[in-house]
Structure 1
């Protein structure tokens, strides 16, 4: 294994160069002016792939333990130096948490999917540096392919169909508020979904190129394996685990639309930060994440260093908090995932009852949506995102989904508008 510097090409050009290669994993930090959006990875030629349907955490741990990682070159400058890249879907995570669903899984979509990668292109976006990690004998062919990257093709027209028209959404919203009024829950995340036939021969890379232009995000991704995959523009970090055991999660709860006028946009961000409903909604989920981290972190280490910050993206401002801790000795990334999935920001509080009500009210399974995509390093470190603002693809169908947290103060029309703001870049693909 070597680390070798190559002439810089933008990550999206590298994706175009390798589009169509089997089991490609592209982790795309495309957000502008975001301190977390400094590094992208294009992971090539996995040594193995794993489809997950049961017990994802034990199976992932055993699968990774069965490989002897190559030595890390001293001049490889990035956090991820090889390991597993992939996703665990919401439906698989809720089953692993002991909650069955009334829905059958989405046809043709596994519960989760990971590739094991030791050949990686790392992009330092601030310094405009590109470094290859992998076998020395593959370097020349990788470099040649990067120099001859084609322009990405435009995505074909897509025929989106709403599964949850506004009157149906209103009925489900009111049913959910009745549960809140009865004291069953304080908050739950209610979503709506659109579907479209997948055009023959459609490359997810083409859709991801269009999506990253419409909605650049710090936790974007394009993952395609076994005929299915994700094109993702997620703004939300789920879990960051450092090699020394430090943990951070950054739940998003609270949304306001962007405005083209800078003064109106600044007022919208300030109003979001001050909004009592949005602050209460965010605080509920922050507390839920404190509880989840407390299951696996050292006593007294869980903190909330950041509460009610505003982060701004292409379509929306979001209210974001941070929860940190330190993992207990003897525990690992898989224990951390087991304690926290599905994420609190896309379930509700209390979490298990909220998931039961979601299953009762939504139109179908969530599949990968609202699960997590992650890299998990051979050194035990991990970074992950909540799978939102994401197009899920099977061999014949595309799924786009969005929603928001419903509380007692929510109105159905405002929540529906918020969901449509979030899903708008996905529905704009192929238009």
Structure 2
């Protein structure tokens, strides 16, 4: 399924001259350690996968090798840390890990797809009442002390006819999205307009940028977000989780939070974002980085493994390629992955969309259902044109 958009985080000088060299994919039923297998495949194709504190010279001295796009599903991320993978994905055509290795050259011209794209009605995998009841179940789990916070995500899908490429392209090229882009394979495509950084590794430093806390992009909404005790407490819990995640790969004493609860705009929403960064410890490679940050804390909860168990019990379907990672690893070893929120997936029959939010003891079920709908609405509008 062709997609006329480059992957997120591709170096700007390379965007118009990407040519596919090879591809690789992995699904949960394939077995093996997905972090190790991914790193091994990339290394075999000449890409620097660590240790990231070492200097790297690309194996391909001709300069033809550019890098690789990486797609990691939520289930693959859970497998990397021994967590519950959740329910089966509603979009099994899309692999749990997809790798596309690129070289520099003339890009392939995308052929026109079938005319007359049409998108049907969105059909959620749970109704508003079921979503609200799941919020209450999370609050009960918090009351028992099982978890402190859980991110609940719902799924919806719409049948389409014709070629979805143009609609997906609107999502994948949204200018205000830090990780706007997409990836496609045989019979599937993923388009993301994510504002959230999962992880960047560059020059021996690792950085993550959790987003947690949402309000309408009005003056009143901004003031309400800044004043919300619930949103700030939820946000700080995730920042602490990310600090703990980075501690597994950081040089002791180097973890910093240079920005806490900064307010950013994405489409019609204000969102609270922080930056957590550290120096990498010696010997840290790509597999270790993925195990430290996947799946992202802002879309799981804390403690992470207990949150994954709760998610698996309550969400009606799997998260597929959403709430995972999509980005780029350069030939020189710079890693930049966005968290696949505000992300839509296509198989041969449906477009799939996931959205949710973090649940704490203070959460109101009806408000949480409304927040998930508010997050999905701009993506639905882009798809509808």
Same fold flag (TM > 0.5): yes
The separation in 2 between residues aligned to 1:158 and 1:237, in whole angstroms, is 32
Aligned residues: 367
Residue 83 (structure 1) aligns with: 67
> What residue is the counterpart of 2:18 in the other structure?
44
Tell me the residue number matched to 1:228. Answer: 188
**What displacement does 1:362 show?**
0.5
Counterparts of 1:316 and 1:357 in 2: how far apart (Å)?
Answer: 28
CA 257–415 in structure 1, closer or farther in 2 if over 3 Å, else same: same
Please report how far the alpha carbon of residue 222 of structure 1 lies from its aligned counterpart in structure 2 after TM superposition.
1.7
Conserved 8 A contact 1:25-1:224: no
Distance in 1, Cα, partners of 2:141 & 2:316? 18
Counterpart of 1:10 in structure 2 is: none
SS state of the match for residue 191, structure 1? Answer: strand
Matches within 5 A, 1:3-402: 20=2, 26-27=6-7, 41=15, 44-53=18-27, 54=31, 55-68=33-46, 69-71=59-61, 82-101=66-85, 103-105=87-89, 106-119=91-104, 134=105, 138=106, 155-199=117-161, 201-203=162-164, 205-211=165-171, 216-242=176-202, 244-258=203-217, 265-402=218-355
**Kindly tell me: are residues 58 and 421 of structure 1, through their superposed partners in 2, closer, same or farther at Cα, counting changes over 3 Å?**
same
Deviation of the 1:333 alpha carbon = 2.6
Unaligned runs of 5+ in 1: 1-18, 30-36, 120-133, 259-264
Closer/same/farther in 2, CA of residues 279 and 154 from structure 1, 3 Å limit: farther
What's 1:13 paired with? none
Gap change, CA 1:333 and 1:72, over 3 Å in 2: farther
User: In angstroms, what is the RMSD of aligned CA positions?
Assistant: 2.9
- Which is higher, the Rg of structure 1 or of structure 2? 1
Partner Cα distance (1:409, 1:383) in 2: 34
SS of structure 2 residue aligned to 1:110: coil
In structure 2, the CA distance between the partners of 1:284 and 1:43, relative to structure 1 (3 Å rule), is farther
Give, in whole Å, the separation in 1 of the partners of 2:13 and 2:213: 27
Counterpart CA distance in 2 for 1:369 and 1:28 is: 15
1:197 CA drift (Å):
2.2
CA gap of 1:330–1:214, structure 2 versus 1, over 3 A, is: closer
By how many angstroms is 1:153 displaced? 7.7
Task: Name the CA distance, whole Å, in 1 between partners of 2:300 and 2:263.
Answer: 21
Deviation at residue 425 of structure 1 after TM alignment? 2.2
CA distance in 2, matches of 1:96, 1:72: 34
Equivalent residue number for residue 130 of structure 1: none
Q: Distance in 2 between matches of 1:294 and 1:266?
A: 37
Which residue of structure 2 lines up, in the alignment, with residue 410 of structure 1?
363
Tell me if the contact between 1:301 and 1:325 (Cα under 8 Å) persists in the aligned partners.
Answer: yes
Task: Give 1:359 shift.
Answer: 0.6
Deviates further, 286-295 or 418-427: 418-427
* TM-score of the aligned structures, taking structure 2 as reference length: 0.87
Q: Distance in 1 between matches of 2:323 and 2:332?
A: 26
How far apart, CA to CA, are the structure 1 residues paired with 2:263 and 2:196?
A: 12
Runs of at least 4 residues off by over 6 Å: 37-40, 149-154
The CA deviation at 1:372 is 0.5
Kept in 2, the 8 Å contact 1:221–1:231? The answer is yes
**C-alpha deviations, 1:238-276, integer Å up to 9, x for none?**
10110x211110000000012xxxxxx233223312321
State the distance in 2 between where 1:39 and 1:251 align.
28
The alpha-carbon deviation at position 59 of structure 1 amounts to: 1.3
| Cα deviation code 1:306-364 (max 9, x no counterpart) | 10100111121101111000111111233111111000000001111011001100001
